[in-house]
Structure 1
């Protein structure tokens, strides 16, 4: 699987990624691939971005992961889009 460089990441997007072994450890097995988010909680500039692990409050440096591909956003169903029609007839009466 091809990896994505950290220079190709986009803020607030979700990616498939794998946690790299911590420096100084002798773990030979790769960790599982998981979904992570590129977080801007500490600042919008890329030097402040962190990796937020989905389903936890853990945050890591970008260098702690290898990134594979962006998780695509789901399409928005036509019926779920807000009604943006203006005018008196677009307001529902109850």
Structure 2
């Protein structure tokens, strides 16, 4: 993983899109490493990863983070949108 500092911090959707853009939707990195990549601190990154895991958007296996659902829902997709999953509000 290359240490590139973003011009501005990623928002949640951009961070999920970044994860999805990785080969096989998988990245091996600590919360601190991901935070540096996204322009976030380790605590914020850890909280977001935990929330995304609880929402079913990612899986974590030791240091590996694996995207489990599409970041951009399709018309036939029955999974909650990123905003709904993060807010805990589902239709």
TM-score, normalised via structure 1 length: 0.23
Name the one with the larger strand percent. Answer: 1
TM-score, with length taken from structure 2: 0.23
Higher-Rg member (1/2): 1
Higher relative contact order (CA 8 A, sep 6+): 1
